[in-house]
Amino acid sequence: MGGTMDGTKRQRRGDTRQRIQDVALELFAEQGYEKTSLREIAEHLDVTKAALYYHFKTKEEILVGIFEDLTRPIEELIEWGRGQPHTLATKQEIVRRYSDALDGATPLFRFMQENQATVRDLRIGERFKERMRGLREIMIDPEASLVDQVRSLSAIFTLHAGMFAVHDLEGDPEEKHKAVLEVATDMITQAHAGTKPAQDEA
């Protein structure tokens, strides 16, 4: 327990904070937040629990750190979206970019999705909701029919679910990924068409 030498470490320097986040995310995603103990994280890193506390004030802060880092692209996407006209092309572009953003943070999103109950009363719960609210604002037209609004929402969830639920489908991962994107794009397109009868891009 907590040895000190065995060749393949010690060269690391100053990256401990990052390594903690990496290992933590891996374990959080694999086993869930509550079921992952700090002891476990520490052991994976060959440091003591106390070392974690040097870098983060609480277990929760570790998660906050991960969230802030991995979630920035989405924040930027929303920022960008707010500055664009609400055209079909924009929305389609948002879907495309959001899909990319998700890809870049798959483990975090897997974690968020599979630990909603937990996340809800963690600090990141509110932060996450805010982002979602942001996404909705740039994707959903409040004037649209309820059905079309749901369609837009569904496009987002298709992307989310697409990250995992699709595993049990047969086929090449690349292909499946593309299929998910296509379906989502399709839905947002239908939602938009319903709203403004096809004349806006003309």
Partner DNA sequence: CATGAATGAGGATTCATTCAT
Partner DNA sequence: TATGAATGAATCCTCATTCAT
Interface ranges with DNA (CB under 7 A): 2, 4, 13-14, 16, 34, 36-40, 46-51, 53-55, 57-60
Instruction: Restricting to residues 144-183, name those near a second copy by CB under 8 A.
Output: 145-147, 149-151, 153-154, 157-158, 161-162, 165-166, 168-171, 175-176, 179-180, 182-183
CB closer to a second copy out of 89 and 147? 147
Instruction: Restricting to residues 40-99, name those near a second copy by CB under 8 A.
Output: none
CB closer to DNA out of 39 and 82? 39
Shortest approach of DNA to residue 9 CB, angstroms? 9
168 interacts with, out of DNA, a second copy, none, CB within 5 to 8 A per kind: a second copy
9 interacts with, out of a second copy, DNA, none, CB within 5 to 8 A per kind: none
Shortest approach of DNA to residue 26 CB, angstroms? 15
Under rule CB under 8 A, residue 142 binds a second copy: yes
DSSP string spanning 70-119? HHHHHHHHHHHHHTS---HHHHHHHHHHHHHHHHTTHHHHHHHHHTHHHH
DSSP string spanning the chain? ------SSSS---S-HHHHHHHHHHHHHHHH-STTS-HHHHHHHHTS-HHHHHHH-SSHHHHHHHHHHHHHHHHHHHHHHHHTS---HHHHHHHHHHHHHHHHTTHHHHHHHHHTHHHHHTSHHHHHHHHHHHHHHHHH--TTS-HHHHHHHHHHHHHHHHHTTGGGGS-S-HHHHHHHHHHHHHHHHHHHHHHHS-S-TT-
Is residue 24 within 8 A of residue 61, CB to CB? The reply is no
C-alpha to C-alpha distance for 176 and 169, rounded to whole angstroms: 8
154 interacts with, out of a second copy, DNA, none, CB within 5 to 8 A per kind: a second copy
Shortest approach of a second copy to residue 72 CB, angstroms? 23
Binds a second copy (CB under 8 A): choice among 16, 31, 92, 189: 31
Residues binding a second copy (CB under 8 A): 31-35, 111, 113-118, 120, 133, 136, 142, 145-147, 149-151, 153-154, 157-158, 161-162, 165-166, 168-171, 175-176, 179-180, 182-183, 187
